[in-house]
Copies of this chain bind each other. A is one copy, B any other.
Amino acid sequence: MASTPPLSFSQALSAPMTGSDALAAGGLTPAFSPLYQQIKGLILQSLQSGEWKPGEAIPSEMDLAARFRVSQGTVRKAIDELSAENLVVRRQGKGTFVATHAEQQVQYRFLKLQPDNGDTQSEGPAERNIIDCKRLRASADIARSLSLRSGDPVLQVRRVLSFSGVPTILEDLWLPGAPFKGLTAERLSNYNGPMYALFETEFGVRMVRADESIRAVNPDTEQAALLQVAMATPLLSVERVAYTYNDTPMELRRGLYRTDTHHYRNVLS
């Protein structure tokens, strides 16, 4: 790694900053962001480029400060924000690590459904059952959600999650074909652990953020059969788009949740 990377902001040896230099190079906008934001951007670039992989430690604050020719405090503030966005995890005495799904106790990163007796542990892990997994061409709406063109190759997966033997979640998910070349039903069903962990380790795709939109619906015949409920049963329809670092959508998920024994929990602040 270069020890003197090309910082595009001018920084005289003892002139803190002027506030109007910065990453404006190449942009017409006044740009004009504080130093720590620029540092944050540079660190983010290294995260995206894979310079440091999920689970690995990034350089120490002192090292980064030296690399970027700024004070430790400035690096610190940059990392503070990355940490607040869950892109990075600090561990006192050890270092700062790229966030990862692989070595993580939480089984489901974005799943907000939980048993009515809040006891997530007692119900044990979900049984995962892959119904279908095939490659096809993106329909118009799938393509739009994934920022693809219709007809682009996508991978479609359908699976059922059961808790204590009760089928509770029916999920259809679509992945852009290109980044997930080589993903098959077998790879998926043989893999033990979070799906997002597999995406990370095998395809270098880390999910960072997601948007959900939720509705109440009735299932069609096939959905009702897979979830073993009557067609009149109201279900939660959860459409989720998950994004990687640079806000690129990498997964579309359409879930049907049974809410007779579970509920979707959300904290507002």
Contact = CB atoms under 8 A, between A and B. Distances in A.
A30 to B, nearest CB: 17
Contacts of A265: 211-214
B211 A268 contact: yes
25 contacts: A85-B269, A210-B268, A210-B269, A211-B265, A211-B266, A211-B267, A211-B268, A212-B265, A212-B266, A212-B267, A212-B268, A213-B263, A214-B214, A214-B236, A214-B259, A214-B263, A214-B266, A215-B263, A215-B264, A216-B234, A216-B235, A216-B237, A217-B259, A236-B236, A266-B266
- As for how many copies of this chain the complex holds, the number is 2
Nearest to A114: B213
B215 A267 contact: no
Interface string A252-267: 0000010100011111
A110 B268 CA distance: 7
Interface string A174-216: 0000000000000000000000000000000000111111111
Contacts of A237: 216
Contacts of A112: 266, 268
